[in-house]
Amino acid sequence: MSDTVEIMEVSARDGLQNEAVIFTTEQKIDLISGAIDAGIRRLEVASFVNPSRVPQMADAEAVVAALPDRKNVIYTGLTLNMRGYMRALATRKSGARGIDEVGCVVVATNTFSVKNQGQSLEDSIVVAEDILKAAAKDGLRAQVTISAACGCPFEGDVSPKHVVDIAKRLALQNPHEIAIADTIGVGTPQQVFNLITALQKALPKMTFRGHFHNTRNTGIANAWAAYMAGVRIFDASIGGVGGCPFAPSATGNIGTEDLIYMFERSNIATNVSLKKIIELSKMLETVLGRPTPAMVSKAGDFPS
C-alpha cells in the first residue's frame, strides 16, 4: 500500500441518532465490539446531550461503562456544552476508563446553530473554546468539528473564508484536530478540495478530519477530494446510516464499507476488514428492519 488512512467509526453515535428504531445498550456494544474486531481503532460511541431532544443517546453513560477495555482503541464522546462535557468527564472518575476523547461542535451558520444546539454561532464558538480549555486542564484529548462547512439548509452557501476564520479562532485552543463536516451533504469534490486546501494553507500545522454525508450522492467523491487535498482521517458509518435530526433531509453518512472499498482498491490501506464490516451492516439491517444505504454491502467486495 502506498499510503494509510484512519477511519473514525461513527455509527454508534451519528449513525443511530437519526433512526426511529432505538437500539438497546447491548446492541450498541455489539456494534462497537464488532467494529473493533474488524480493525477499527477509533470510534465515536456516545453523545452527552439532552435525552429529551435525542432519545437515541439517552444511555450514553451505560454504553461507556460497558465498552470493551482495549488499550489500542480510542473512544470518543460528543459534547455540545459544558454540562455534556462534565458528564463525559465523569465517566473517567472512580477508576473507570471512560471516554478517551471529547468532540465539540461549531455550526458554521447562525440559524442552523440555533436549531441544532440552541446557541448562536458566536456562543457555540465560545462554548467550544471553553470545552477545549477544560479538556486541556483535565488532561483529556479534545477535537472540534465545524459543521455545515459546505452549505446550510437555512442560509444556503457558506463562504470558505468564513470556515477558515472559524478554524483559525478554534486553533488558538490547540485542539487535537479540526473536522470539516458537510452535515447536509451538499458539497462537491471541487468545493471540498478548495476548502481543505485553503484551511491547510491557513493552518499548516493543524490536523484535519473529513466528515461527509452522501445525501446527494457526492459523499464518497468528496472524501476522495479531501484525500487528494491532504486529509488522512475520515468519519464513516457502517451501512451508511445516520444523519442530523435538526436539518431537513440530512440523511446518509458515508458507508464505512464504501470508504474502505474505495481506498483499498486505490492502494491505500485502512487496516479494516471489509468482510467483517459488511457483516455488521447486515446485522444493522436486521435491527432496523430495512436495507442500509451503503452500496458495497449490497454488491459485495471485488469479485475474486
Active site members = 244
Question: How many CB atoms within 10 Å of residue 149?
Answer: 30
**The three cell numbers locating residue 2:** 502506498
Phi-psi domain of 198 (left: phi exceeds 0; alpha: psi -120 through 50; beta: other)? alpha
The SS3 of residue 3 is strand
Q: Name residue, grid cell 444505504.
A: 293
Q: Name residue, grid cell 473514525.
A: 8
- What is the number of alpha carbons within 13 Å of residue 103 lying toward its C-beta? 27
How far, in Å, CA of 151 to CA of 137, rounded?
Answer: 34
How far, in Å, CA of 60 to CA of 76, rounded?
Answer: 11
Q: What number of residues does the chain have?
A: 304
H-type alpha helices, the chain: 25-38, 60-65, 82-90, 110-117, 121-138, 160-171, 189-202, 219-228, 256-265, 274-288, 296-299
- Taking CB atoms within 8 Å and a gap of at least 24, the contacts of 126-129 are 127/80, 127/81, 127/82, 128/104, 128/170, 128/173, 129/169, 129/170, 129/172, 129/173
C-alpha distance from residue 49 to each of 55, 183, 193, 223, 232 (Å): 9, 18, 32, 28, 29
Q: Which amino acid is at 198?
A: A
